[in-house]
Structure 1
Amino acid sequence: MEFRSARDNQPVDVGKVEVRAEMAMPGMPMVNDAQVEATDTPGRYAVRYNLSMSGTWTLNIKFDTDKSSRISLRVS
Structure 2
Amino acid sequence: MLSTNTNEKPEPQDRIGYVDYNTTGGLKLVSSDTLTLGWPSATNPSGNSWASDHAAVVSRFSVSGNHKGH
TM exceeding 0.5:
no
More relative contact order, 1 or 2 (CA 8 Å, 6+ apart): 2
Q: Is the radius of gyration larger for structure 1 or structure 2?
A: 2
Q: TM-score, structure 1 length as denominator?
A: 0.30
Q: Normalising by structure 2, what TM-score?
A: 0.31
- Pick the structure with more helix per residue: 2
